[in-house]
Amino acid sequence: MSSVLVTAQLPPKAMDILEQAVAVEILPTGADVQALRDASRGRHAIVSLLTNRVDAALLDAAGPSLKVVSNVAVGYDNIDVAAARERGVIVTNTPDVLTNATAELTWGLILAVTRRLGEGERLVRDGRWTGWSLDFMTGMELSGKQLGILGSGRIGRAVAAKAAAFGMTAVFSSRHGAGEIDGHPVMSVDELIATSDVLSLHVPLRPDTRHLINRAALERMKRTAYLVNTARGPVVDEAALASALKERVIAGAALDVFEREPIVHPDLLGLENVVLVPHIGSATHETRSGMAELAARNVVAVLAGKPPLTPVG
Ligand code: NAP
Ligand code: GLV
């Protein structure tokens, strides 16, 4: 029977899918890098989380028996895909099943930052609310504004699809030139950054997207604009963002992802014009279960000699 290492307990349905086909071992909570390497030795598959670094050293520790690394995430910047390919190891991810949940969270963040929900909640809980007044806690109305979407893939398009409900005009930038995507205009990255009232990031983390939003990009944004990041932390230069928010180079930001999770840049923690949530884009019961089931099905397919359902690359 094939032997599979799962780096964390999965929801019951996903465990059932695996346990009906393979022998499963769950990595103990809190295991360090060396413990993960040791536990990987001789496995046929590893089910990884985005918090597990799957590099050449881990692949070598697993050894030649390893056939598949199944990531329970759509982003796979935690995996050295080239090293896996060199060793004949298939890598899979979990696209589509999390698109809607992540798009919903993105809209939650857009509303939270433009209407100052975090700031207002802190005020009420701290007993600092002194009453209603005309100019109190005013934010930006979404209707009539431009939502710029950087990364016109599954999640970016799902976010755009909900823009009309708020009266926003969604625009995209794409590496594939001008035109339209789902009826929304496509413009250059520079124009998107310079003209959007809300700029929402939906690109994967790759060498060309690392610090795509740096000080220069923030300075090109409108002073009244908001940045929302549900993609990956390192797409934004967090130190540059913290100073830009402090200096009011932009109006505000909402972040689900961070450069060194779970550490958040200390300067962000003291700012009122940033909403901070702990990487919960796909965190609904339905979606996390769907992700784990898809990851399990990928393992079972590959170990049965069938094509993976959702291979990477
Ligand atoms: P996707 O369908 O692959 O979409 C990514 C899009 O980004 C593609 O359209 C791609 O364009 C575009 N892109 C890549 N590099 C670019 C660049 N340098 N400039 C402009 N566009 C670029 O992926 P997805 O399913 O939408 O997921 C997107 C990312 O969201 C994931 O990689 C993950 O990091 C993140 N995510 C986060 C959470 C969360 O919990 N916060 C949840 C799910 C996903 P091409 O078509 O030209 O390659
Ligand atoms: C979550 O961040 C994912 O990439 O699935």
What 3-state class would DSSP assign to 187?
strand
User: Can you list the alpha helix ranges (DSSP code H) found in the chain?
Assistant: 12-19, 33-40, 56-62, 81-86, 99-114, 117-125, 154-161, 189-195, 215-220, 238-246, 266-269, 285-303
Ligand 1 pocket, Cβ-based, cut-off 6 angstroms: 74-75, 95, 98, 102, 150-156, 175-176, 202-206, 208-209, 230-232, 256-257, 279, 281-282
Q: 204 CA to middle of ligand 2, Å?
A: 9
Task: Report pTM.
Answer: 0.98
User: Which portions of the chain are predicted below pLDDT 50?
Assistant: none
The pLDDT value recorded for residue 150 is 98
Position 178 scores a pLDDT of 82
Q: Which residues are designated catalytic?
A: 232, 261, 279
Q: What separation in Å is there between the alpha carbon of 85 and the centre of ligand 2?
A: 21
What is the reported pLDDT for 305?
A: 98
Q: How far is CA 226 from the centre of its chain?
A: 18
Atom index in ligand 2 nearest the CA of residue 76 equals 4
**Token pair in block for residue 109:** 């963040």
Point out the ligand nearest to the CA of residue 232: 1
> Can you tell me the distance from the alpha carbon of 137 to that of 203, in angstroms, rounded to the nearest whole number?
32
Atom number of ligand 2 nearest to Cα 75: 4
Helices (H), 126-226: 154-161, 189-195, 215-220
